[in-house]
Amino acid sequence: MGLRHPQTDQIRLEDVFTALSNPMRLKVVRTLAESGPTPCGSLLDGVPKSTLTHHWRVLREGGLIRQEALGREYTLTLRRADLDERFPGLLDAVLRAARVPAPG
Amino acid sequence: MGLRHPQTDQIRLEDVFTALSNPMRLKVVRTLAESGPTPCGSLLDGVPKSTLTHHWRVLREGGLIRQEALGREYTLTLRRADLDERFPGLLDAVLRAARVPAPG
């Protein structure tokens, strides 16, 4: 059975913000924006697998990423075009904001 | 004792997104953006007081609003200038995205 991904017109803004409300998930979004599709094993070193699985699900169900099996591993891809279609300008603003240093 | 409001340079992006991750809180942000400072009793009809108190706290601690006593009631004000200073362009993109109709 495939993993659930919302269709573009079914992406909910509150779910996008839920996906972005965690520093690790925000970091993954930034990395995918900069590096393109990435095997999920290369993201977030030293984080327990169950935690990773949770983060991929929240990102996926929020409509932020596609999670697809490639060989024995999942590859994560930012749904940039879908997000730009659904909420024009939002992802760019988020990525700019994510480059602002966090409070010390 | 006053309510806790983060200083502008202490506003955390993940807390902004947490504040925006709920449809009621997103609606309050839209209303405040359109109507200016608003007595909190005029927002979110029919919602239990304890729920409102929770939403004001998440919005306030996320740096989205100021919550100030005015007479016997609190007035809520969107921290538009502070947010624009901290994360330029983000609030405008959020308000544009919030005008996109939710999935049916």
- Chain A residues with CB under 8 Å of a chain B CB are 9-18, 20-23, 26, 86-90, 92-94, 96-98, 100, 102-103
CATH number at residue A75: 1.10.10.10
Chain A nearest C-alpha distance from B87 (Å):
5
Domain that holds residue B63: 8-98
Instruction: Give B3-69 as a DSSP string.
Output: PP---GGG--HHHHHHHHSSHHHHHHHHHHHHH-SEEGGGSSTT--HHHHHHHHHHHHHTTSEEEEE
3-state secondary structure of B93: helix
pLDDT for A13-67, tens place per residue? 999 999 999 999 999 999 999 999 999 988 988 899 999 999 999 999 999 999 9
State how many domains chain B has: 1
Q: What is the DSSP letter of A16?
A: H
A103 domain residue, yes or no: no
In a domain, A2, yes or no: no
Cβ-nearest to B93 among A10, A93, A98: A93
| CA gap B65, A92 in Å, rounded | 23
Predicted TM-score (pTM) of this structure? 0.95
Q: What is the mean pLDDT of residues B48-67?
A: 96
Kindly state whether residue B2 falls inside one of the protein's structural domains: no
